[in-house]
Amino acid sequence: MFPKEVEVILARHLASYLAMPIFIVDPVGNLVYYNESAELILGRRFDEAGEMDAAEWGTVFQPTDEEGVKLSSEVLPLMVTVHERRPAYRKFWIQGLDGVRRCIAVSALPLLGQSNRFLGAMGIFWEVDGT
């Protein structure tokens, strides 16, 4: 693993103190961290799940739309943010690693560091009513 940029280190520290579920990916979409609140929704502690490449986390949580149609990782808000470097939002269903299906709403933001370096994206999400 490469050393993380200081802005990403600080983002992780901030996330670790916040109660909102937060998911952080690197510039190509690889998962680098999610916080304790996110663990409750994703169904596994980050220490156990560890870092995942974009293809893996984009499928391991089995994202679907409200009709149950499988979503490709490319349309998930974090990946939209990674590819287009803009904020993105979507409500969809996932299956946590504990096997429980949940509806979540994700707001993804690009992480732009000093000199406008693109460092990845941060997704803030909530479990919401799926009806």
Partner 1 sequence: MRVTLWGTRGSLASPGPDTDHYGGNTACVEVVSRDGTVLILDAGTGIRRLGTQLVRTAQRVDILLTHLHMDHIQGLAFFAPLYNPQIEVHIWGPASITLGLRARLTRYLSPPLFPVALQEIPGEPILHEVPCDTFTIGDFRISSSLVCHPGPTVGYRIENERAILAYLPDHEPAMGARDFPIEDEWTSGYAIAADADLLIHDAQYTSEQYKRYVGWGHCSMTDALKFAALTRAKQMVTFHHDPSHVDAALDQMLATEVAALAPDFIVTPGIEGTIFNLGGPPFTL
Note the residues at the interface with partner 1 (CB under 8 A): 1-7, 9-10, 12-14, 16-17, 113-115
String of b and e for 47-83 (b: at least 16 CB within 10 Å)? Answer: eebeebebeebbebbebbeeeeeebebeebbbbbbbe
Q: Which is nearer to partner 1, 9 or 55 (CB)?
A: 9
How near is the Cβ of 116 to partner 1 at its closest, in Å?
A: 8
Closest separation in Å from C-beta 7 to partner 1: 7
- Distance (Å, whole) CA 16 – CA 2: 20
Give me the least distance between CB of 117 and partner 1, in Å please.
Answer: 9
Residue among 20 and 69 whose Cβ is closer to partner 1:
20
Comparison of 10 and 20: residue with beta carbon closer to partner 1: 10
As measured in angstroms, the least distance from the Cβ of 19 to partner 1 is: 15
Q: How far apart, in Å, do the first and last CA atoms of the chain sit? A: 41
Provide the residue type at 118 as one letter.
F
Q: Which is nearer to partner 1, 12 or 44 (CB)?
A: 12
Burial of 29 (0-12, 13-18, 19+ CB in 10 A): buried
Q: Answer for the pair 26, 11: CB distance below 8 angstroms, yes or no.
A: no
